[in-house]
Structure 1
Amino acid sequence: GNPRHIGKRKLAWTIRNINAMTRESLEPRRWRLQQTKIVPLHSSLELSRAFVTWCHGWTQNQLVYFIRQAPVPITRENFEATVQFGTVRGPYIPALLRLVSGVFAPQIFANTTWPESIRNHFASHLHKFLACLTDTRYKLEGHTVLYIPAEAMNMKPEVVVKDKELVQRLETSMIHWTRQIKEVLSAQETVETGENLGPLEEIEFWRNRCMDLSGISKQLVKKGVKHVESILHLAKSSYLAPFMKLAQQIQDGSRQAQSNLTFLSILKEPYQELAFMKPKDISSKLPKLISLIRIIWVNSPHYNTRERLTSLFRKMSNEIIRLCCHAISLDRIFEGYVSSSKEDLQGCILCCHAWKDHYLQAVQMHTEFSSRGWVLDQTSIFAQVDAFVQRCKDLIEVCDCQYHFARWEDGKQGPLPCFFGAQGPQITRNLLEIEDIFHKNLHMLRAVHGGILDVKNTSWHEDYNKFRAGIKDLEVMTQNLITSAFELVRDVQHGVLLLDTFHRLAAREAIKRTYDKKAVDLYMLFNSELALVNRERNKKWPDLEPYMAQYSGQARWVHILRRRVDRVMTCLAGAHFLPHIGTGEESVHTYQQMVQAIDELVRKTFQEWASTLDKDCIRRLDTPLLRISQEKAGMLDVNFDKYRSHPAPSPHTPLLQLSQEFNSRLLTPLFIILSLSYITICLLLTFYFFFFFFFFNTMIGQAQWLIPVIPALWEAEAGASLEPRSSRPAWATWQNPVSAKNAKISQAWWHKPIVSATRKGEVGGLPEPGRQRLQ
């Protein structure tokens, strides 16, 4: 249907239902249901709550209530006498104040039927209640309103003075005014000692203070206040003089607040611009702000004290800290956004340092060109700033730990390094274990999320120290891991890869010592490589391949040695992460000296080869290698140079060089060794031959004198006598000079027997003289 018609039907339905509900609530049968909720003074509020609940939760800014005092039928004639009605607005305290001051208070103060003592007692408490209720109602809006008793407003002061009870009630109101004014005057001390307030809050305070003091000043000249003052003046009240003194302070404070607001207003626009700037861009605006504060200091008649200027600069420090806190995201820090979070934290630290530097420059300039000393409390101004800078450094350390121990870079974890070798899987497992322990410590630190950036939160230091203790344990574990990883390093390239893997951890002081030690070990490996190459280079006869020429082979051999050290040096030169240590510089210097020596050896070898060449070798290139044969028609002859000192190269030159090299290097030494061995063996055989010949001949000559004796011994054994025979045996036909001599000796010995035969057929020796003769 038409939305307009629908709206009309809803409005009509609403009005009809409200009218019906109102009629039903006024009927006697409905009255019993609501009777228990009606109590004095609170009946309107209870009824309004019941009415709101009854209307299906509708929210209204203003309600109309009807209260029936007696269960009688309501007619047009008795409506005003039977029903009490009115309105209740949304805020309950202002509504209560209007109800009490507009409805109940006039009736109570105008009532003369009560006994005097009860009336005075009730009126006294009612004045106190209205004074507190009025003060509370306007303090919600930031204003101070004096409660003026309406009881004596229509009476002359001379008449009121005669009523002592009424005068006491007016003195009670003036005491309440005095307390209110003192609170307003002491509010400045509260804002000056505010720890988290900024310059904009200071400006807003002086604006509210100016409005508040101006409002109080206007109230002090109102007719009601003046009337109370005149009554108490006639009554010679002791409370009037303190109140008049405070009233004068209010007037002076109003003028002072207006002056301070005027001067502080020049700071409003610059500070509002800071709210939209990043911390790294704030430093350019700080000199102007310091100059504006100095202008206020020099020109303001009231805002020029040491306490107020120190407080203003401290509020400026608070403002800078607040802006920096808005730029820092703790969630991003603990979620691994290391790079961007560190940039934000570094920007905050630079902003705080710039603020302090600009302040010190302004102090120096003011001291140099002004006769008025700069006597502000610098420690109080920058105490919070220094604490905040340290807090930012702690968070940067947290970011660094995430980068070092958990591989977080900017919201993502870097790839896990690959360790080769037999210990590679174990090293990887140890590295993952370190990451797990770190994440547990980080989770514990994140639990204090709410108070990390609050410099007044002292519990942060205890939590952060626990985190640091866990990090120290991880540093020890990482040092052991680096040491175990380098146990199997045997070449420079492998060591460079490991140092590159652990390079991100070298920024930590504890791990850096182990890292530098392993870098020294790496350079020691390089020194060993250089020493090995140097020994190879210093060989008198290098180990050349048989097919290589003398000079070119030696040059190539030296080039291979240089390429070996160049490859290692290139690896070290590309390792930008290696620390600069003395051992490394010495190794590089040794390498450079070796390279120079190798280059010099190559140049010398080339010069030696060039010296063996013929001076006219260039012209010989013009001679053709083939020519027409003069002996055989139609044939070609080889036209090699007949006067060259070396044979021309041919396809078989490498094989010939290999054969010559084989002959010169293997066969010739082998032939010499075999010849020397043959000669030695011949000499030894000759020596042994002559030795055995001489020894055998001598032994035969000594034994031949026994030859005639042995047959005699055999015959004696057979029973014959021991006498020499005249006949010569067959073996005696073999004679030589030695044997003949021995025969003569043996014949002579027969006449002197040296042995005798016993009865048993044994040969026995002669007595001792004969045995000695044999010997």
Structure 2
Amino acid sequence: MGLFTEFFEKPDVLVLVLTLNPAGMIIPCLGFPASLKSKGMYFIKKKPENISQDNYKDRLVYGDISPTPVDQLIAIVEEVLYSLLNQSENVSEWPRVVSEDIVRQVHKLKSEMCVMGGKIKGKTLLPTPEHLGSLDGTLESMERIPSSLDNSLLHAIETIVIDWSRQIRDVLSKDSAQALLDGLHPLPRVEFEFWDARLMNLKCIHEQLNRPKVNKIVEILEKAKSCYWPALQNVYTSVTEGLKEANDTVLYLKPLQILLEEMEQADFTMTRTYLSPDEVLKGLQGKTEEVLSGISLSLSVLKELYRAYEFCCTNMKLFFKKDKKPVPWEFPSSLAFSRINSFFQRVQTIEDLYKTAVEFLKLEKIELGGVRGSILGSQVTQISDEVFELVKVFADCKYDPLDPGDSVSRGPWQDR
């Protein structure tokens, strides 16, 4: 009840939203929640003031809110706002310039809502131009276009072709390697997801470009000898070629996808899990030889991976049939191996550290005889103690030594 009281009695609290939880209880919220799992009801004050039993009808705006508010907004714009303002009888008393501008703006809003709804669903939806719905069937000649719509219809169509070109260019310009170029570290599954999504999106665009309404647009532009007619042809050609590329890529990635999924699920000794980031340096004070053997094994696996990659790159002809011309490997290896190269260098550095520590820790067991045995022995002991302290600093480090992106600019040992 406290939230209800706060909403009604505090002027600066302007919004109250009521929703139901899974148990069917009403849950109030002072403001619109970030997400809804069921239908809700909102109450909004028209201006900051107290709400009483006598004035609530005049001072509140209220209504339903869907768990998918964007879809609700799109439906309201298309089915309510656009339908009302697109009826001539509803704007007959307005000045012509005003009514035409409002209809144009509401059509633009409808198109933007269409594009937004498509993006939310991971699709590219192409809006239709204004006035196109007033033309039925296929145009045999430009004389069949109502004279009052000649200029406005052609202008609307040419404008929409520009918008389509921009939308489709944005889709085709996306690069599956963008995450790598942005400094992220995606797994191979990201590549598969990219091409699956691209294929689905281009299929959706291709279907839209082959609808009767688009055929009508093509016919109008062709008969009007519009300079945008070649642009629309280029759009269709680009989508067709992009669809073929995406379809082929998805097809040829399928066998690789199965192998990589098996690899990810395997207990593969090049993984960071095998070396255990929390324990890899602690072995400097304990099972040094045992941890060093695990590090060396990981490095040998990485080297074998590099070797296999180089073999495949330089012997591409072995993977083509004799009657097929080999296609050289042109994919930049830096995109695929930048992260693993850094990891490899990290592990190599850790291996060098272990090998150095193993040699210096042998000093602890050295005994020197002779005339100067006592003096030299004390110096060796001093060196051994200093090395032990330095090794302890590494063993007690608080960061992840196997993370190439986790760099420490200066450690305690660098002051020694």
The normalised TM-score by structure 1 is 0.39
Find the partner of 1:260 among 249, 253, 257.
Answer: 249
Alignment partner of 1:358 out of 286, 290, 308: 308
Matched residue SS, 1:333 = coil
The answer for the alignment partner of 1:98 in structure 2 is 75
Give the 5 Å matches for 1:386-535: 386-401=341-356, 403=358, 431-440=384-393, 449=400, 453-454=403-404, 463=409, 470=414
Q: Deviations over 1:14-40 (max 9, x none)?
A: xxx9xxx8xx9xxxxx7x988994xxx
Partner in structure 2 of residue 53 of structure 1: 29
Kindly provide the amino acid, as one letter, of the partner of residue 29 in structure 2.
T
For residue 176 of structure 2, what is the aligned residue in structure 1? 191
Q: Is residue 221 of structure 1 aligned with residue 174 of structure 2?
A: no
Give the 3-state SS of the residue equivalent to 2:125 in structure 1: coil
The within-5 A match list for 1:261-660 is 261-280=250-269, 324-325=271-272, 327-336=274-283, 338=288, 341-362=291-312, 367=317, 370=322, 372-373=325-326, 375-377=328-330, 380=333, 384=338, 386-401=341-356, 403=358, 431-440=384-393, 449=400, 453-454=403-404, 463=409, 470=414
Distance (whole Å) between structure 2 residues aligned to residue 202 and residue 446 of structure 1 = 34
**What CA RMSD, in Å, does the superposition of the two structures yield over aligned residues?**
5.0
Using the TM superposition, give the Cα deviation of residue 246 of structure 1 relative to its aligned residue in structure 2, in angstroms: 1.1
**Is 1:174 equivalent to 2:161 in the alignment?**
yes
1:120 deviates by: 3.9
Deviation at 1:169? 3.9
Which letter maps to 1:219?
Q
Judged with a 3 Å threshold, the aligned counterparts in structure 2 of structure 1 residues 350 and 138 are, in CA distance, closer, same or farther, namely farther
Is the 1:161–1:231 Cα contact (8 Å) retained in structure 2?
no
Change (3 A) 1:165 1:209: same
Matches within 5 A, 1:718-733: none
Cα 1:430/1:363, change in 2 over 3 Å:
closer
| Kept after mapping to 1: 8 A contact 2:36/2:67 | no
Distance 1:248 1:379 in 2: 28
**Does 2:104 correspond to 1:117?**
no
Distance 1:137 1:126 in 2: 16
Whether the aligned pair in 2 keeps the contact of 1:124 and 1:169 (CA below 8 Å) is no
Say if 1:216 and 1:400 are closer, same or farther in 2 by CA, change over 3 A. same
Q: Which amino acid aligns with 1:53?
A: C
Per the TM alignment, residue 275 of structure 1 is displaced from its structure 2 partner at its CA by 0.8
Structure 2 distance, partners of 1:84, 1:54, is 15
Match of residue 230 from structure 2:
241
- How far apart are 1:431 and its partner, in Å? 3.6
Distance (Å, rounded) in 2 between the aligned partners of 1:114 and 1:428? 100
Shift of 1:264: 2.0
Using a 3 Å threshold, how does the CA distance of structure 1 residues 161 and 442 change in structure 2: closer, same or farther?
Answer: farther
1:357 aligned partner, one-letter code: R
Query: Alpha-carbon deviations, 1:169-196, whole Å to 9, x = none?
Result: 4433332211111122222xx1156535
What displacement does 1:350 show? Answer: 2.1
CA contact (8 A) 1:367 1:373 kept: yes
The answer as to 2:40 corresponding to 1:63 is yes
Deviation at 1:124, TM superposition (A): 4.1
Write the deviation string for residues 323-350 of structure 1: whole angstroms up to 9, x where unpaired: 7355443322243375565444333322
Measured after TM superposition, the shift of residue 393 of structure 1 is: 0.7
The one-letter amino acid of 2:158's match is E
- Report the secondary structure of 2:227's partner residue: coil
8 Å CA contact 2:115, 2:127 repeated in 1: yes
Q: What's the CA shift for 1:236?
A: 4.6
Question: Unaligned stretches of 5+ in structure 2?
Answer: 20-26, 137-143
1:432 to 1:117, Cα distance in 2 relative to 1, 3 A: farther
Whole-angstrom CA distance in 1 between matches of 2:248 and 2:147: 41
* Cα distance in 2 between the residues matched to 1:347 and 1:123: 71
Q: From the superposition, tell whether residues 438 and 328 of structure 1 become closer, same or farther in structure 2 (CA, over 3 Å).
A: closer
Q: Which runs of 5+ in 1 are unaligned?
A: 1-16, 25-29, 38-45, 281-322, 408-413, 474-775
Equivalent residue letter for 1:275? E
Report the CA distance between 1:453 and its aligned residue.
3.8
Q: 1:159 aligns with which of 146, 161, 166?
A: 146
Name the amino acid aligned to 2:252.
F
Alpha-carbon offset, residue 366 of structure 1: 5.2
> How has the CA–CA distance of structure 1 residues 326 and 431 changed in structure 2, closer, same or farther, with 3 Å as cutoff?
closer
Output the CA distance in 1 between the equivalents of 2:192 and 2:210. Answer: 27
- Name the SS for the 1:146 alignment partner: coil
Q: Report deviation, 1:48.
A: 3.9
Deviation at 1:261, TM superposition (A): 1.9
Structure 1 or 2: more helix by fraction? 1
Residue 266 of structure 1, CA deviation:
1.8
Task: Report the 3-state secondary structure (helix = DSSP H, G, I; strand = E; otherwise coil) of the residue aligned with 2:65.
Answer: strand
From the superposition, tell whether residues 126 and 333 of structure 1 become closer, same or farther in structure 2 (CA, over 3 Å): farther
Which amino acid counterpart does residue 191 of structure 1 have in structure 2? S
Contact persistence 2:44–2:62 (CA under 8 A) = yes
Alignment check: 8 A CA contact 2:202 2:242 kept: yes
Quickly say closer, same or farther: Cα 1:63–1:383, change in 2 above 3 A.
closer
Distance 1:228 1:106, change over 3 A: farther
1:357–1:374 CA distance, 2 compared to 1 (3 A): farther
Tell whether the 8 Å contact from 1:152 to 1:160 is kept in structure 2 after alignment.
Answer: no
Structure 2 CA distance for aligned equivalents of residues 260 and 383 of structure 1:
21
Following the alignment from structure 1 to structure 2, what is the Cα–Cα distance between the partners of residues 379 and 214? 29
| Compared CA separation, residues 184 and 327, structure 1 to 2 (3 A) | farther
AA of the residue aligned to 2:70: I
Q: Tell me, in whole angstroms, the C-alpha distance in 2 between the residues paired with 1:35 and 1:383.
A: 56
Q: CA deviation at 1:399?
A: 3.7
1:144 is displaced (CA, Å) by 1.4
Identity, % of aligned positions: 18
Q: Is the 8 A contact 1:388 1:453 kept in 2?
A: yes
**In 1, Cα distance between the equivalents of 2:188 and 2:307?**
20
Q: Which residue of 2 aligns with 1:200?
A: 189
Q: Is contact 1:67–1:85 with CA below 8 Å preserved after alignment?
A: yes
Instruction: Give the deviation of 1:435 after TM superposition.
Output: 3.1
Shift in Å, 1:47: 5.4
SS of the aligned residue for 1:87 comes to strand
2 CA distance for matches of 1:87 and 1:232? 44
